[in-house]
Copies of this chain bind each other. A is one copy, B any other.
């Protein structure tokens, strides 16, 4: 039976990863979102094994020690990670699986699972990114500067990726990501 693939979508914050992926998941069958493990408490309505795998810190670090994460990180005092077993199980079943992650996380995936396909989602320009951050409204001036500086640095990472999608039109970006997934499934190894 054919195996699935792991697609890693990364890029600077504000490039539109979440929006593109939400649209894609609706349009494309045979594609699963990767489910993260986390040590944070579940919120109302969140389902264990669907939204997240909720773990105690002890259990989380047992998995870390056993090298059972494709990547993991600490965010705001909680730990988040991508469990290897879930991803490998989906791939074995022939399912494609997609992981939305920041640049640092993508680097970790590249080390632990280099067979993944890496897609860099870029904003049309840093000016446009600044405009998008303004629109979010929630950013103060300092946070915005930090994010823009990060983005400037992160844009340099693109050359380590397999594909680049410049997210100037959402429809086009979704079509491109979908095309990459279809094309990778036609590849002769």
Q: Give the Cβ gap from A5 to chain B, nearest Cβ, in Å.
A: 13
Cα A182 to Cα B184 in complex, Å, equals 12
Q: Which of B164, B182, B187 contacts A186 (CB 8 A)?
A: B164
Contacts known (A182-B175, A183-B180); A188 close to B159, Cβ less than 8 A = yes
Q: Is the CB of B175 within 8 A of A187?
A: no
Q: Is the CB of B187 within 8 A of A176?
A: no
Q: Which of B158, B182, B184, B188 contacts A161 (CB 8 A)?
A: B188
Q: Which of B163, B178, B180, B186 contacts A163 (CB 8 A)?
A: B186
Within 8 A of B (CB), among A159-183: 159, 161-165, 175-176, 178-180, 182-183
User: Would you call A52 an interface residue if the criterion is a C-beta within 8 Å of the partner chain's C-beta atoms?
Assistant: no
Number of copies: 2
Contacts of A187 in B (CB 8 A): 162-163
Contacts of A69 in B (CB 8 A): none
Seed contacts A163-B188, A179-B182, A183-B183; 17 additional CB < 8 Å A-B pairs: A119-B186, A120-B188, A162-B187, A162-B188, A163-B183, A163-B186, A163-B187, A164-B188, A165-B186, A176-B183, A179-B179, A179-B183, A179-B186, A180-B182, A180-B186, A182-B183, A183-B184
Which A positions have Cβ atoms within 8 angstroms of B? 119-120, 158-159, 161-165, 175-176, 178-180, 182-184, 186-188
